[in-house]
Structure 1
Amino acid sequence: MFNAHLVPYVDRLSHGFWRNPEADLSRSVPQFRTAIRTEGSESSVRLHFVHSLSSRANSAPLLMIPPFPFTNLSLTHLTDHFTNPGDGERDDIAFHLVIPSLPGLGFSDAINSSKHMIPLVAEMFDKLMKRLGYDHYLVTTAAPSPNAFTDIDSRLIKYIAVSFPDSCLGAHMISPPFSQPKLRFAPLAWLKWKMASTLQRPCLGYSQHDIAIIRRHKARRRLQHKQIPLLPGINTVGDKAFEPNTLSYALCDSPVGLLLFFVMVLRLLESKHEFSNQEMIHMTELTWLPGPEGTIRMWANCSSMTEQVPKPSHKPRIGVTTFAKAAAQEDQDRSQGISPTASSDAHTCLAWGYVSYDVLSSQVVPGPPGLLAWERPGVIAAGVRKLAKAVISIDGRLQKEEETGTTLLEQVRVEGNRLAPAEVSGTTIQGGVSPIPAPADAPKSSQTTDVTESDASRQNRPSTPMPPKPSQVGESSQSAPLDDGSGDDGGQSSNQGSPSTIKPFKGSPP
């Protein structure tokens, strides 16, 4: 039965499916790469990102963090929700949307460092926004976090909001895990919580739902601590079978194994969305082509390390989206033998959030969250707009008119198996110029990106023997030279839309 479920995916994967989606992504998605060096990183890291500008005046910059382990190219269906609200939403705020891929995922380079990943990635994303000319911006996640799979999303947005309050003017959090107030740090908030939980009645900012849910979840968490983890021993010495390198090599050698990995992830995230065969293969290819090593290593690093979040000078501004899963649905799950996972078990207590954050907006959405970016993307957009309106009402910097800036980026296309310069201008102009390809009759800039092949090229992994056309899944290719970090950390550039294709390649192993 399980094999029968996989047959359509495997057939589509093995019959050269990838070329059409690859061409579509290259043609329609404004995607770029730029090299960024942080104070804590040992070398420059090239970030791949989608940059969609809105045609509306006074649009606000928005940084979107993809839900791990998905790449930014898996979220391109979200752009219109943020950049171009419908005719019935003319008064809604539009956004200039930036969606980077996490380092090591998709076409972003992996971080070759054993340091804490979360602080490094947070600094890279902040530098990326500033390089694009956005001195002030909002940030949002695209899925509830933590969930049954990881808490990378929630930790990353929290670190950005706390560490860069001068540039990040607001963070939209989806089901954030606020901590219970402690006597040492917030004695008044701690006293209110103790009184409300002792009285077992709504008071002092707590609802009856807060009290009942939190107590029930405490009992569930005690039970979950006794259960066997999904990947016991990952990144530990005691169990070599689940070290990140071991798992990476296994997935690297088997696209079907990586496909099963994503099937497992979707089930853990309680997805109700019916993904087509094309969507599943698309998702798998975007991880398999550049290699799953970076994905697994980042997962292992973040699972084994806890970053020290700096103490902010003032409370970060946030907006919160929470979900009210009906009790009847929980009872139905139990009757069907469905165990509560971290995502269904999550509850955000706003009274706790006020202790550490300046909560400017909130919305409670009925039903379980599920895989929000695919099932209910409008919920994310509504939460972000609510936060944006609250921020703009007290801080005019978010929509401040800036002088046109120039950003150096990299954009390439593929000729056969070799990279060549894209036939576009050598800079990306921020402010008034759309990254969408210009009409055919539009005047072309005389300035072009000169990409040579003088440096030593890198090779992709050999193609996996999958009949009938293994070469269409993983061809080897030569890479164009990029900034090695010795000089300015800006990469090569372009200003007219997406490349004909971004040819993934694997760098030297750490």
Structure 2
Amino acid sequence: MTARMQTIQEDIDAIVPYSMHVSSRYLDLTKQKLSLTRLPKELTSLPTTSSQWALGVPKSVLEPLLDHWLETYDWRAQEDIFNASLPQYRTLITRPAPPGSSAHAEASAIRTHFVHARSAGEGAVPLLYVHSWPGSFIEAGRLIPLLTAASETAQGERAQQQQQQQQQSFHVVCPSIPGFGFSDAAEDPQFGVEDAAEVFAALMQRLGYEEYVVCGEGWGFQVARALALKQRESVVKGVFTWNPRFERPEWGKGVKTWVQWQVARVTGARWPSLSFGYVPSEVQEGGKNDMKGKETKGDDVMAARPMGPVLHQLLSARPQTLAFSLCDSPVGLLAVLLDVLGVQGTGPSLGARPRSPFLDPEELELQDREYEAAGHERVRSDDTVKASQNGVGAHISTQPWSPTDILNWTMMMWLPGAEAGLRWLRRAHIETSAPSWSAYCNVPLGISSFRSSAATPLMWGAAAWPIVWVRRRREAVEMPPWEAPRLLANDIRECFARLPGGTGEGKMPAELV
């Protein structure tokens, strides 16, 4: 290799520190579009908020956020917070020409954005966090400082073992899927889950991590699965997810898992020897949140299954058509985000009514009382996340879903444009619907299960994974990294410390904690 070629290669492999700074011209354009928004008319005959949500995001929920965006919201202040709290970088990841390309097709390079927060703790484990859709890297902002935090060394062998299980620290890498956040979009229309996994595998290798664990939920979990299937357990040592949705066991896809599910249903999972990891509440509900869903007529579809996954399919069916509106309307993107997040926190006592992330204090108090009456426990987050020794995560609030939080998430969709994310989502649906996607993966899986409107019985996943660790929690939480980061961080630490080959044995508690 010539000196010039070597210099070029070094430039390509370079990891460059990055700070968020959106052009003032683009921010001015955003405000102009907000001021020109024409809101739709609503039916005045709908008597309740529940009936309004059955048609989509109510105007009463969105309009105050629009006012906040125009009059109060300060993106520059949010940029400063993210830049001070999350160490960000970008690097070029080279990908080979797509299969079926012409002989003259060249490899492409994707400029990939990522957060890389290293822990000062001894024995820290590399952890790849993969965000979902419609999220971005900021969804892990409250979790990262908790995972990187180091603790003082305990005295005594037993005390050290317990501390390692409870205070395992991590070097956290949280990249933006190409086309999301500040990662460039791929030009390949077939770029999907497996391609994102390849980019992230190359990124971890470039950072010097030959072995690591992976965390993710929703579409992030699907990317983690693609990584685990491709890299195997020699590289990916474990995967962790929360509130997962698995397919109902079928005879043709796993006889053992199907038989165990049928036995658990017949016995009500009342006897440990015949429960196979299921709990009574799962079998009593009969797996109502099957990934494939059931045919439901009329407005009952809003009550019968979570709208988040349904909206994913609707929004990704014709991405280019939808992009013409969403790329031109920040309020349209806000409405999409509210509709996906609006189901979060729904409890059985509330029936079909989705819980908006933006409620006035009286509504919040009323809904919290209804939750407690139904036996649910509210998650009480700390006011702030304590910064770790290197300052990661300082100033990031953990109060769930303030107006500014909602607008931050919306901005992370608005800034790159919605089109690449929608194309990726469409391809992700196609890939994960293929028969080959149900192949068994040998990488150990840990699961944290909160009370969720979308989760399926956990052991349905045994047809595709070796489930080695489960924690079932009482709290009603749809998005733990944002709404209950401390609880989730504790589970991640304990799970990866207890994986086979770790400091403890695999664990599958059936009790609620």
TM bucket (normalised to shorter chain) is 0.5 to 0.7
1:346 aligned to 455, 460, 463, which one?
A: 455
Of the candidates 227, 231, 238, which is equivalent to residue 170 of structure 1?
238
1:140 aligns with 2:248: no
Match of 1:390 in 2: 498
Q: 1:126 to 1:231 in 2, by over 3 A?
A: closer
Shift of 1:377: 0.8
- Asked if the contact 1:316/1:358 (under 8 Å) is kept, the reply is yes
Q: What pairs with 1:302-317 in structure 2 (closer than 5 Å)?
A: 302-305=428-431, 306-307=433-434, 309=436, 315-317=442-444
- Taking the aligned partners of 2:259 and 2:327, their CA distance within structure 1 comes to 53
Tell me which residue corresponds to 1:503. none
Contact 2:121 2:151 in 1 (8 A): no
- Alpha-carbon distance, 1:370 to partner: 2.0
Q: In 2, are the aligned partners of 1:361 and 1:387 still within 8 Å (CA)?
A: yes
Match of 1:462 in 2: none
Distance (whole Å) between structure 1 residues aligned to residue 186 and residue 438 of structure 2: 25
AA aligned opposite 2:461: G
- In the alignment, residue 71 of structure 1 is paired with which amino acid? S
Unpaired runs of 5+ in structure 2?
1-57, 99-106, 155-161, 303-309, 346-354, 358-398, 505-513
- Partner residue, 1:98: 173
Q: Using the alignment, how far apart are the partners of 1:316 and 1:104 within structure 2?
A: 28
CA–CA separation in structure 1 for the residues paired with 2:225 and 2:137: 20
Aligned to 1:380: 488
**Map of 1:262 onto structure 2:** 337
Q: CA separation of 1:9/1:276 partners in 2, compared to 1, >3 Å: closer, same or farther?
A: farther
Q: For the aligned residues, what is the CA RMSD?
A: 3.4
For 2:220, the equivalent position in structure 1 comes to: 153
Deviations 1:280-303 (A, max 9, x none): 332222222222222222223323
Alignment pair present for 1:250 and 2:325: yes
| Partner residue in 2 for 1:209 | 281
Q: Report how far residue 98 of structure 1 moved.
A: 0.5
Could you report, residue by residue, the CA deviation over 1:222-267 in whole angstroms, capped at 9, with x for unpaired residues? 244874954886565xxxxxx3223222122222222222222221
Q: Which amino acid aligns with 1:173?
A: T
Q: What is the CA–CA distance in structure 1 between the aligned matches of 2:441 and 2:400, rounded to whole Å?
A: 43
Q: Distance in 2 between matches of 1:182 and 1:375?
A: 34
Secondary structure class of the residue paired with 2:412: helix
C-alpha distance in 2 between matches for 1:103 and 1:135:
22
Equivalenced residue count is: 363
Query: Aligned pair in 2 of structure 1 residues 365, 119: CA closer, same or farther (>3 Å)?
Result: same
Q: Distance in 2 between matches of 1:28 and 1:391?
A: 30
Higher share of residues assigned helix: 2
Aligned to 1:358: 466
SS state at 2:286 partner: helix
Number of the residue aligned with 1:282: 408
- Pick which of 127-136 and 23-32 moved more: 23-32
CA distance in 2, matches of 1:43, 1:68: 24
Query: 1:119 maps to what in 2?
Result: 194
Change (3 A) 1:231 1:125: closer
Return the match for 2:125 from 53, 60, 80. 60
State the match for 1:440 in structure 2: none
Q: What amino acid maps onto 1:380 in structure 2? A: L
Q: Describe the shift of the 1:137–1:230 C-alpha distance in structure 2 as closer, same or farther (beyond 3 A).
A: closer
Unaligned runs of 5+ in 1: 146-151, 237-242, 326-342, 397-510
The amino acid that maps onto 2:220 is D
Partner of residue 383, structure 2: none
Shift of 1:321: 1.1
Q: Secondary structure at the match of 1:56?
A: coil
Contact 1:171 1:319 in 2 (8 A): yes
Aligned with 2:174: secondary structure? strand
1:108 corresponds to 2:183: yes
SS at match of 1:365: strand
CA displacement at 1:182 relative to structure 2 = 4.0
TM score, norm. by length of structure 1: 0.63
- Which whole-Å CA distance do the structure 2 matches of 1:213 and 1:76 have between them? 34
How far residue 116 of structure 1 moved from its aligned partner, in angstroms, is: 5.3
Q: Give the Å deviation of 1:216.
A: 4.7
**Within 1, Cα distance between the matches of 2:171 and 2:199?**
18
Residues 1:292 and 2:349 aligned together: no
For residues 191 and 37 of structure 1, do their structure 2 counterparts lie closer, same or farther at Cα, with a shift above 3 Å needed? same
- Say yes or no: does 1:83 pair with 2:148: yes
CA drift at 1:140: 0.6
User: What's the CA shift for 1:347?
Assistant: 2.4
* Partner-residue secondary structure (3-state), 1:138: strand
Identity of aligned residues (%): 25
> Residue type matched to 1:315 in 2?
N
CA apart distance, 1:220: 11
Q: Which one of 27, 31, 34 corresponds to residue 88 of structure 2?
A: 31
Q: Return the alpha-carbon distance in structure 1 between the equivalents of residues 401 and 256 of structure 2.
A: 48
Aligned-pair distance for 1:179?
A: 3.7
**Matches of 1:257 and 1:126, distance apart in 2:** 34
What is the deviation of 1:79? 1.7
Instruction: Tell me the equivalent position of 1:452.
Output: none
Partners of 2:135 and 2:83 in 1: CA distance: 18
CA separation in 1, counterparts of 2:312 and 2:200? 29
1:129-185 alpha-carbon deviations (Å, 9 max, x no partner): 1111110001111x4x3xxxxxx2332222222222221100002122334444445
Q: What CA distance in whole angstroms lies between the structure 1 residues aligned with 2:149 and 2:474?
A: 25
Letter in 2 for 1:221: G
